[in-house]
Amino acid sequence: MAANESQLPDTPPEQHIQFREKVEDAFQSVAGVIKASTAALPTKTGDGSYIAKTKPTGLLDDLPHLRPGDYRTLVDEGKSLLTGDPINDKTYLMERLLKLASELPANNKESSLFSNAFVQQLYDDLQHPPVAQLGNEHNYRSADGSFNNIMAPQVGAANSHYARSVRPQTMQPADHPDPADLFDTLMARDQFKPHPAKLSSMLFYLASIIIHDLFQTDHWDTTKTKTSSYLDLAPLYGCDQTEQDAMRTFKDGKIKPDCFSNKRILGFPPGVGAMLIMFNRFHNYVVDQLASINEAGRFTGPKDGANKTAYTKYDNDLFQTARLINCGLYVNIILKDYVRTILNLNRTDSDWDLDPRTAKLTGPTANGTPGNQVSAEFNLVYRWHACVSENDDKWTQEEFARLFPGKDPSQVSLPQFLTGLGMWEAGLSPDPQKRVFPNLQRSADGSLDDDALVKILADGTRDVAGSFGSSNVPTILKAVEILGIKQARSWNLATLNEFRAFFNLGKHDSFESINSDTKIANALRHFYDEPDLVELYPGLVVEEAKYLTGFEAGNGLCTDYTISRAILSDAVGLIRGDRFYTVDYTPNSLTNWGFSEVSSDLAVDHGHVFYKLFLRAFPNHYQPNSIYAHYPLVIPEENHVILSRLGQVDKYDFNRPAPIHRPTPITSYAACKYTLDNQEDFKVTWGKAIKFLMQNSGKEFGADFMLSGDAPVNANSRRVVSAALYRDKWEDEVKDFYEQITLRLLREKSYKVSGINQVDIVRDVGNLAQVHFSAEVSRYHGHALLAQD
C-alpha cells in the first residue's frame, strides 16, 4: 500500500481542495433539483415563484466573524451601559461599534438589534419636541403658570380643572355616613399629642404655603383650582396677572414691602404670613443686588430722557429675574430642608437628599419637562389639620370668636361658616399692603416692625406641632373638615384602598389594618361595613401613622402610611415637571450671582439653605449660627439633642433671636479719639468673630489674641506678635520679597495672545503674591502653608 501511494503523482494541496469543492457543488445541485421536483407548487405568489426565506444567524454563528479587538469593544459598551458614565469619545467607541456592526453578516440578528438601538440612542439624544427655546417670550414664569410647557401652554395654568389620578372602580353606596358624625367619632381631638419627632410649627407653616401654592379651589366651580400647578410662590406673587400687578411697585423691579397676595393666608396663624414676608424681603434684596452687580450689563438702568418702554423693560427684567431666584431658594428650601426633615435625614450625618433635578433624571431620555397638573386626590392628601399646635389651635379659636361673635363653634352651620368666610374675605382690601397683618402697624415706607415679625417666627420655631393620625384634629376646624368630606364626595374619587393600589401599596383587608385602635376600627366598621368602602377622605386622616425611625433616615414626618408614600411621588413630579426647575434652571436664567446665592453647600448643615432666608430677611436679629435660622423645622430643644449626638452642637447659637446692635459710624476727630481711649466702654467689633474662628471643640482659645479685644492681655499679645513680625529692616525685606515674587509670577503666568504678552494681574499675580507672603512668614515660624510653590 505504501508502495502504491509512493507511485501516485505529486498533487498540490490547493488542487485537492478545489476538486473537493467541485464535487460538493455537484452533489448540492443534484440534491436541489430532487428537492425542487418533489416540493409543492408555489401558490402564494402571483408570478409562480417561491417566497425566499432568510434564516437569521445567531450569536454562535457570528463568533468566527469577531476579532480580538471586537471583544474589547463589546466590553467597553457594556460598561458604558451599566454605569451610565460619560463616554470617553477619544477611545473611538462609537466608531468601533459601527465597524463591528458592518463586519457582521447582513442577516445577523445581533447586528439588527445593534442598529436599532443605535438609531434609538441618536434619536433620544435630542428632545422631541424641544422643551426650551431661544427668544424672550418665555424666559420668565407667566403670572398664571401658562407656557411652562411651551408646546402645551395651558398644562398646569391657573383656573384649570383638577386632574384625576386614580380611576374609581368600587361600587360605593348611595348614602354615605354623615360628615359631622365622621368628624366627631374619628377625627376630633380628644387631647393634644405632640409630634414624636418634635417638629415645630414652622414646618407646617411652610407646608401651608406649598399647599396654597398648588391648591386654591374655586368656590363657584369646585372642579377648578384658581392657582397654577407649579411651585411658583403664588401665595406671595399672585395667581394671575391682576393679582401680580397688585403686588408690584413697577419701580426698579421691587414688590410692595412686607405683604403677600393670597388673602386666605390672613386666616392662618401669623407664622405662615411672616414666612411669606421673609420671601417678600428676599425678593427686594435680590433686586438690589442684581441692579448693583449688573452682571454682563443685563440690568443697566435707562438713561435720563429714555422712553417709558425702556423703564418698563428695566423694571420687568429685574422683577422677573428676582422672582426666578426667589423661587429657586423656595424650591431648594423644600428639597434641602423640608424633604430632608420629612425623611429624618436631619437626624443623621448624611449629605444625601431626594433631589429629582439630577442631570441623569431630567435629561431628554426622562421625557423632558412635560409640565404638571395637580389632582383632586392630592388636594386631600395635604390636609394636615391634625398637626396644628396647641398655640395655633388657641389662636384659631380666638379668630373664630371674632368672626362669629357670641356663637358656639359647634353650632355654626356649614352655610353660616361659608357665608362668614366669604364676607371676611370680601372685606379685605384688594391692595395687599393695605391689609392688616396681624394687628401690626406699618411704618411710613410700608414695612412692619422687625421685632414683632421675629417674635412670631421664633415662637413658631419653639412651638411643637401635633401628631398625625385619628382623633387629632382640633374641634374648631370641624366645619372645615365637613366641607372637605363633602367636597371629596362631589369629586367622585376613588376609595382609600384604590388610592393605595395606585401606588402599588397593599390594600387594607381589615379595619384594624387601617387603624389598630379598637375604638377607631369599630367605628369604621360601623360606618363602612367593608374596608374596601372606606372613602379616601376621611380615610387619609384616620389611617394609622408611622412611627419615628429614631436617628436613622426613613421617616421623620410620621404621617399616615398612604400619605408618606404619596407626598414623595408628588414632590418628585412637581420638580421634574417644571421647566424652570430643570432645563431652564441655569446660571444664565438666574444670573451667576443668583444661582450661587440660592444654591446649597454641603459643608453647611448638610446642604440645608433655610438660614439664607432668615439672615437676608432679618440680618439685625438672627446670629449667623443661630439654631433658629439653620434648623427651624424642629424645636431648639430637640435640635440640641440631635446635634449633641452628632457632635456638632457647639457650632450653633441656641439663644432666642434678639436685636443685634450694629456699629455706629464715627465722623469727628474728637469722638474717634474718645472712643479709642475709652477701652472700658468701647470694645472692638470683631472680637466675637475672632473667638469663634479660633475655637476648638467648642472651647474658645482666642480671647487673649491681639485682635480679640482691648484688654491688657490683648495689648501684650500685640507686643509679642509685633516683635516677632516687625524686626529690624522688616520694611525693606517685605518690599524686596514682593518685588521678587511679583517679577517671578509675571514671568511664570504671562502668555502670548496675538503676539502680545498678557496676564491676569489680579488672579495670577496680586492674589498669589499675598498667598506666598503668608506662606513664607508661616514657614519662617515653623508652620509651612504651601507644600510646593
Whether the CA torsion 98, 99, 102, 105 is positive or negative: it is negative
Stretch 248-274: mean pLDDT: 97
The residue written with cell numbers 417566497 in the block is 51
In a domain, 197, yes or no: yes
The residue written with cell numbers 510653590 in the block is 789
Q: Which residues, including other chains, have CB under 8 Å from residue 399's CB and lie 6 or more apart?
A: 267
The residue written with cell numbers 380643572 in the block is 161
pLDDT band at 211 (very low <50, low <70, confident <90, very high): very high
Stretch 2-7: mean pLDDT: 47
3-state SS, residue 188: strand
55-59, 151-155, 657-661, range with the lowest pLDDT: 55-59
* Same domain, residue pair 569 and 467: yes
- DSSP string over 417-463: HHHHHHHHHHTS-SSGGGS-STTPPP-TTSPPPHHHHHHHHHHHHHS
What region does 689 belong to: left with phi over 0, alpha with psi -120 to 50, or beta? alpha
* Same domain, residue pair 512 and 411: yes
Name the percent of the chain lying above pLDDT 70: 87
pLDDT at 51: 61
Catalytically annotated residue among 382, 528, 581, 622: 382
pLDDT band at 9 (very low <50, low <70, confident <90, very high): low
Neighbouring CB atoms inside 10 A of 213's CB total: 26
pLDDT at 346: 96
pLDDT at 214 over 80: yes
Do 351 and 606 contact (CB within 8 A), yes or no? yes
In a domain, 189, yes or no: yes
In a domain, 177, yes or no: yes
pLDDT at 365: 38
Q: Which residue has the higher pLDDT, 591 or 173?
A: 591
pLDDT at 367: 53
Average pLDDT taken over every residue of the chain:
88
What confidence tens digit (pLDDT) does each residue in 17-61 have?
666 666 666 666 666 666 666 666 666 666 666 666 656 555 555
* Same domain, residue pair 741 and 717: no
Stretch 373-399: mean pLDDT: 96
CATH code of residue 198:
1.10.640.10
* Same domain, residue pair 474 and 425: yes
* Same domain, residue pair 196 and 315: yes
Do 614 and 622 contact (CB within 8 A), yes or no? yes
pLDDT band at 151 (very low <50, low <70, confident <90, very high): confident
* Same domain, residue pair 551 and 678: no
What confidence tens digit (pLDDT) does each residue in 63-83 have?
566 677 777 787 887 777 777
Q: Which residue has the higher pLDDT, 606 or 21?
A: 606
In a domain, 194, yes or no: yes
- For the chain, how many structural domains are there in total? 4
* Same domain, residue pair 573 and 686: no
* Same domain, residue pair 291 and 399: yes
pLDDT band at 366 (very low <50, low <70, confident <90, very high): very low
pLDDT at 368: 56
What confidence tens digit (pLDDT) does each residue in 497-538 have?
999 999 999 999 999 999 999 999 999 999 999 999 999 999
Cα–Cα distances (Å) from 278 to 259, 575, 613, in that order, read 10, 22, 7
pLDDT at 553: 86
Rounded to whole angstroms, how far apart are CA atoms 651 and 633?
18
Out of 566, 581, 596, a domain closes at: 581
| Residue 307 DSSP label | -
Stretch 344-371: mean pLDDT: 74
- Measure the CA angle with vertex 788, ends 786 and 789; round to 5°: 95
pLDDT at 250: 97
Domain limits for position 23: 12-38
In a domain, 406, yes or no: yes
What confidence tens digit (pLDDT) does each residue in 720-736 have?
888 877 878 888 889 99
Cell numbers for 82:
451599566
Cell numbers for 180:
359631622
Q: Which residue has the higher pLDDT, 787 or 753?
A: 753
Stretch 592-611: mean pLDDT: 97
382 is catalytic: yes
* Same domain, residue pair 532 and 677: no
Q: Is 195 annotated as a binding residue?
A: no
In a domain, 707, yes or no: yes
39-43, 122-126, 338-342, 543-547, range with the lowest pLDDT: 39-43
Whether the CA torsion 752, 753, 755, 757 is positive or negative: it is negative
What confidence tens digit (pLDDT) does each residue in 265-304 have?
999 999 999 999 999 999 999 999 999 999 999 999 998 8
- Measure the CA angle with vertex 575, ends 573 and 577; round to 5°: 60
* Same domain, residue pair 302 and 371: yes
3-state SS, residue 699: strand
Neighbouring CB atoms inside 10 A of 171's CB total: 7
| Closest among 611, 281, 603, 599 to 461, alpha carbons compared | 611
Q: Which residue has the higher pLDDT, 689 or 473?
A: 473
* Same domain, residue pair 319 and 214: yes
- DSSP string over 45-67: STTSPPPP--PPB-HHHHGGG--
In a domain, 301, yes or no: yes
* Same domain, residue pair 574 and 706: no
Rounded to whole angstroms, how far apart are CA atoms 548 and 283?
36
| Residue 712 DSSP label | H
Out of 563, 581, 599, a domain closes at: 581
Stretch 308-317: mean pLDDT: 95
pLDDT at 654 over 80: yes
pLDDT at 364: 41
Cα–Cα distances (Å) from 423 to 226, 404, 420, 528, 683, in that order, read 19, 11, 5, 37, 57
| Residue 493 DSSP label | P
pLDDT at 41: 62
Rounded to whole angstroms, how far apart are CA atoms 192 and 200?
14
Residue 664: what residue type?
T
Q: Please state the φ and ψ torsions of residue 586, each to the nearest 5 degrees.
A: -135, 160
pLDDT at 446 over 60: yes
In a domain, 609, yes or no: no
What's the pTM? 0.85
Reduced 3-state DSSP string for 629-645: HHCCCECHHHHHHHHHH
Q: Which ranges of 84-125 does DSSP label H, i.e. alpha helix?
A: 93-103, 109-124
Rounded to whole angstroms, how far apart are CA atoms 55 and 109?
9
